[in-house]
Amino acid sequence: MGKKKIVAIDLFSGCGGTSSGLIKAGIDVRAAVEINKVATKTYTKNISAHVIEEDIVNVSGSELLDKIKLKRNEELLLVACPPCQGFSSIGNGTEDDERNQLVYQFVRLVNELRPAYVLMENVSGMSKGKGKKIFKDVLKKFDLLNYEINSDILNSADFGVPQMRKRLVLHGVRRDIYEKMVAKDMNLELPKPTNINPSSKENPEELPVWETAGSVFNLPRLSAGEKHQSETVFNHYANGLSDINKERIRHIRRNGGSRDCLPDRLVLNCHRGKQGHGDVYGIIDVNRPAPTMTGGCMSYTKGRFGHPVEDRAISAREAARIQSFEDEFIFEGTNGEIALQIGNAVPVKLAKASGEYFQWLNRKLNEK
């Protein structure tokens, strides 16, 4: 069996978190599909793959094959991160949210393209929360298409990402390839952690402990509402903050980092007598991985996104670092558009870990 390289297509590519990780793993990402114009602009600024800016419903497998020009010595990896807001435990989506149906477009394109390998990332709620019924149906459809699947909830912190971000990761191989794996006594696996919880009692592989949020906060000082851009620092932009919120952030920082310490005069009416999302108005703890980045990650009022020492929410560049993007990765759009791209992205190092697994698997399968 001759050596074969992996070529990838990234569906629902967003700004390019997954593609960036796969490229770091040595995979040739040749095409992507994304409907959002601003995310596409960011993607094409940083990644050379051909991007189809279109609703995926209108994209066919034959069109994608025409773009990537797959050769006989190449194997296809089809990747997808379908919109997950309907499955998320944070949002108000339901099982009937129309965005949830987009995962079936991934299934359709797997059927049309018959890739050797498949990779999907989504929120944990897809497999054991609001989306459980849909996910079971998707697994059934993959089985009918003759794909072997392994999936689980992984924590991005276990892969060198300075963030607590639990996500569903799915690896799949076409069954004829899986039969070759069985013949070589190989199992279909998920990526192995590169980092470990510092509170773990055992660490037989002597892995380094989780990266903490403190590793990202060494950029030039920034005031709320200020933008810092230089030849070496990109997208270091902070949203503005009202005077009363500056007073709140100072008080919270001095008194433990959470809003439940606020004196009565600083408590918002909407928070009185309610628990709600307790992280809102919180300060990021530099001694732990950061909380999950969301589309509101640059807004102090939308989560535990307060800067640890400066009177502002984290900047776009700090949020991007928490998602393990390189500093050279440049985002396009307004502050709100950039925050949404960052919050929706797959952490680069998590995608890289999956990419490295498929590279390893492909090499093993091609050994004589």
Active site residues: 84
Among 31, 13, 40, 21, smallest CA distance to 332 is for: 40
Among 10, 1, 3, 2, smallest CA distance to 354 is for: 10
d(CA 74, CA 77): 10
Among 117, 49, 133, 122, smallest CA distance to 78 is for: 117
DSSP secondary structure code for residue 260 in this structure: G
Question: Across-strand partners of 50?
Answer: 31
CA dihedral 350, 353, 355, 361 (to 10 degrees): -150
Beta strand pairing call for 117-123 and 74-80: parallel
d(CA 155, CA 347): 11
| Class of residue 108 by CB neighbours under 10 A (exposed 0-12, middle 13-18, buried 19+) | middle
**Is 21 in contact with 355 (CB distance < 8 Å)?**
yes
**Is 300 in contact with 335 (CB distance < 8 Å)?**
no
Question: Across-strand partners of 79?
Answer: 10, 119
Strand, coil or helix: 52 = strand
**Is 237 in contact with 228 (CB distance < 8 Å)?**
yes
d(CA 293, CA 316): 11
Instruction: Count Cβ atoms below 10 Å from residue 344 Cβ, excluding itself.
Output: 21
